Amino acid sequence: MSNTKRPFSVPFVGLKNGKHEFEFDIAQSFFEEYEYSGIEDANVQVKFVLDKKDTILVGEFFIEGQVVTACDRCTDSLEVPVNADFVQYFNFGTEDSGDDSLTILHPDEYQIDVKDLIYEFIIISLPSRALHPEGECNEEMKAAMEKHIVNLNSDEDDDDEEEEDDDDDISPWSILKDLN
């Protein structure tokens, strides 16, 4: 079932108690509305099962597909699989619960907009570091980035920099060394 005017709005008023399924196809255009998402492309299917009960709604999200994002090592595009299940509870009230797994709906609501939940669930399904397998990164980019990496723990570099800078630029680390 899908709604063309508001494709991520799921109407629950008028539904009988029990489970109801909704499906969403998530593509790159979905992520364009979210600034700084880091997603370059996507092919993700989301099945949303809404279990309507007398006093609460229980939503189960089944997410499967792939997204394309930048490799954290070389910044080239990397396809990352997404496969996750989440449960979200929906209850009626006027005050925020403070619980991330519980969404409070105003008593006048008649539909649930699941767009932001789908976005959040896809983002948290991604690994904390997206990396190409060893040996598959763009070696030119890695080499260019390594030229600009500052290693604060290197004693050789510190000695050379101190001679060149001669107190023109005081490093905050050099100040902390003398605080013993």
Q: What is the pLDDT along the chain (180 residues), one digit of tens a residue?
A: 444 457 899 999 999 999 999 999 999 999 999 988 899 999 999 999 999 999 999 999 999 999 999 998 888 999 999 999 999 999 999 888 789 999 999 999 999 999 999 999 999 999 999 998 888 888 888 777 777 776 656 555 444 444 444 445 556 666 666 665
- What is the pTM for the complete model shown? 0.76
Query: Helices marked H in the chain — which ranges?
Result: 28-32, 115-125, 139-146, 155-165, 172-177
**For the chain, domain boundaries:** 9-125
